[in-house]
Amino acid sequence: MLIRFVVENYKSFKDEVEFNLLTGNFRRLADHVSKTFDGINLLAFSSIYGANASGKSNLMRAIEQMQEMAISDIEKDEEWSDDRFKLDKESKKKPTRFEIEFISHQVHYSYGFSYLPDRIIDEWLYEIDFKRNLETVLFERESFADKPLVLEVNDRYKETDKDKYRFEIYGDELLPQQLFLNLIFQRDTEMLEPVFDFLFDSLITVFPSSKYKSLIHKFSTDKDFLRIANQIIKLTGTGIYEIVSVDVDSNLVFLDNDHKDTVLKSLRSEENEAVIYLADGISYALYFSGDILKASKVMCKHMCEDGSFELFELYDESDGTMRIIDLIPALIAAFKDGGVYFIDELDRSMHPELCKSIVEMFLDQQNTNKGQLIITTHESNLLDLNILRQDEIWFVEKHRYGSSKMYSLSDFKPRHDKDIKKGYLQGRYGAIPFIANTKSLNW
């Protein structure tokens, strides 16, 4: 579970900004709260509001950048992109900093680092005993432009002479611009398996353009996934009676012969369970069932006036319906498997009431699996203290000179019977667009 994320000097975040899922001192909607193994109260849901270009998406991009740096290969002379705040001369000289606190495998961690494009300044990973207020250093690393690297690793990982020698080699191999976590990921994932499980498997960002590549295959092969997906789609009132997986003619006439060898080679590699092939606007899932190459596609079943059914291709559905279908994997994963899902612009191409119903659906299911859902949105119908707690509502506001700040509605301490939506649209909490006088256009 995610506890907090801190970002500084990245894109529009000039100063340190913290987003967290910690609870405030509120009693309402107590079922939205989960208690961790070490007694911390965490929220299952959070919504982030702000004007266009205020910096909402930059929070998610910061998380993606942190993940990218921890997992990607980097060459000796390669540099990271320079995403520091550009509207201040001093910020152009300072490092970017990320820090994340989370729980994975019943262990409480804090990980962070600061960096310039050509080198990591410092990096750390702590194990936290919240009940006893203790921090155990798992590793710390400091780098200086004119001094040798300083790398300290906890003795639990150096029980033998071989282990000690291994970390000496790691210290020699570590590139100036490479995270130590990245090197461990390349060399020995078991050493920090809970950390990697959270950062790369449980922390997911979903942008409006994001597509779940295995969606067609998932519908075709996972009956439980398809069942839950249909429960969601029926609750959203799209007019779809059922999503169905349809097996395609075994002759696979849609498959271009020029690409068939490539598809087969990809399927036979251990990394690919299925290959998605696009032909005439239709996505097909190609996969092996035993030694037989099979294909399937997803279609939407609609009911006719006489009670019969008609099958529609996915491309026949509206943008709003497709947006819901694209979000289904994230919603199911959060419902069933836990994990932390950031969804940017949940309300994109979606009716306000539908957006509201999806959020209520998630909150009604919580929270046996400790899943967390964080959305950015403009949907003001969610600004209702009968639906959300004060600490589940956050705002991002951009200052006059381009820097973003984040703050929670709970900072304002509004009464539980307050009309939050009205107050927000009137500018009481900030984070709304500032519109110039349109008469000055002289149209």
Phi-psi region of 433 (alpha: psi -120 to 50; beta: other; left: phi over 0): beta
Nearest-angstrom CA–CA distance, 236 and 323: 12
What's the confidence (pLDDT) of residue 372? 92
The Cα 385–Cα 422 span in angstroms is 12
Phi, psi of 276, deg, nearest 5:
-95, 125
Backbone angles phi, psi at 321, to 5 degrees: -65, -45
Q: Which residue has the higher pLDDT, 33 or 365?
A: 33
| 1-23 tens-digit pLDDT | 999 999 999 999 999 999 999 99
Judged on CB neighbours under 10 Å (0-12, 13-18, 19+), 192 is: buried
Using CB atoms within 10 A of its CB, is residue 436 exposed (0-12), middle (13-18) or buried (19+)?
exposed
Residue 211 has pLDDT above 80, yes or no: no
The DSSP-derived string for 327-356 is HHHHHHHHHHT--EEEETTTTTT--HHHHH
* Cα(391)–Cα(394) distance, integer angstroms: 7
For residue 258, pLDDT over 80 is answered with: no
Task: Give me the pLDDT at residue 436, please.
Answer: 62
**Residue pLDDT, tens place only, 110-130:** 999 999 999 999 999 999 999
Q: How many whole angstroms separate alpha carbon 298 and alpha carbon 274? A: 14
Write phi, then psi, for 265 (nearest 5 degrees).
Answer: -65, -40
Q: Which two tokens stand for residue 238?
A: 């799209």
Residue 414: Cβ within 10 Å count: 17
Q: Which residue is associated with the tokens 């961690």?
A: 109
What would the mean pLDDT of 311-337 be, rounded to a whole number?
85
Residue 149: per-residue pLDDT: 83
Alpha carbon 300 to chain centroid, angstroms: 28
Confidence grade of residue 325 (pLDDT, cut at 50, 70, 90): confident
Helix (H, G, I), strand (E, B) or coil at 101: strand
**All CATH 3.40.50 domain ranges in the chain, comma separated:** 1-208+344-443
Contact 338, 369 (CB under 8 A): yes
Reported residue count of the chain is 443
Q: For the chain, what percent of residues have pLDDT higher than 70?
A: 96
pLDDT at residue number 368? 61
Q: Is the pLDDT of residue 32 over 70?
A: yes
% of the chain surpassing 90 pLDDT: 50
Residue 270: its pLDDT value, please?
59
C-alpha distances (whole Å) from 420 to each of 74, 112, 344, 410, 427 are 47, 35, 22, 11, 11
Top mean pLDDT of 61-75, 287-301, 407-421 is at 61-75
- DSSP-H helix ranges across 200-256: 215-221, 223-235
Predicted local confidence at residue 358, as pLDDT: 84
| In this structure, CATH architecture of domain 1-208+344-443 | 3-Layer(aba) Sandwich (3.40)
42 vs 31, 99, 373, CA distance in Å?
11, 18, 12
- Highest-confidence range of 271-275, 381-385, 433-437, by mean pLDDT? 381-385
Phi-psi label, residue 292: left if phi above 0, alpha if psi -120 to 50, beta otherwise:
beta
pLDDT of amino acid 272: 65
Average the pLDDT over 190-201 and give the result: 94
- Average pLDDT of the segment spanning 309-333: 87
Q: Is the pLDDT of residue 326 over 80?
A: yes
64 or 356, which is more confident: 64
pLDDT at 431: 81
Cβ atoms < 10 Å from Cβ of 351: 14
pLDDT of residue 178: 94
The whole model's pTM is what?
A: 0.87
Residue 98 has pLDDT above 60, yes or no: yes
Which carries the bigger pLDDT value, residue 262 or residue 213?
A: 262
Mean pLDDT, the chain, as a whole number?
A: 88
* Per-residue pLDDT at 438 exceeds 60: yes
Q: How many other CB atoms sit within 10 Å of the CB of residue 338?
A: 15
Banded model confidence at residue 177, pLDDT cuts 50, 70, 90: very high
CA-CA distance, 29 to 143, in Å (whole number)?
A: 47
pLDDT digits (tens, 9 = 90+) for 234-248: 877 788 999 998 888
Mean pLDDT of 98-113: 96
pLDDT at 437: 67
Rounded mean pLDDT of 154-162? 93
Q: Is the pLDDT of residue 367 over 60?
A: no
Which DSSP state fits 67? H
Q: Return the C-alpha torsion angle 19, 22, 23, 24, nearest 10.
A: -60
pLDDT average, residue stretch 217-238: 84
Split at pLDDT 50, 70, 90, the class of 369 is low
Which of 326, 332, 305, 303 shows the shortest CA–CA distance to 314?
Answer: 326
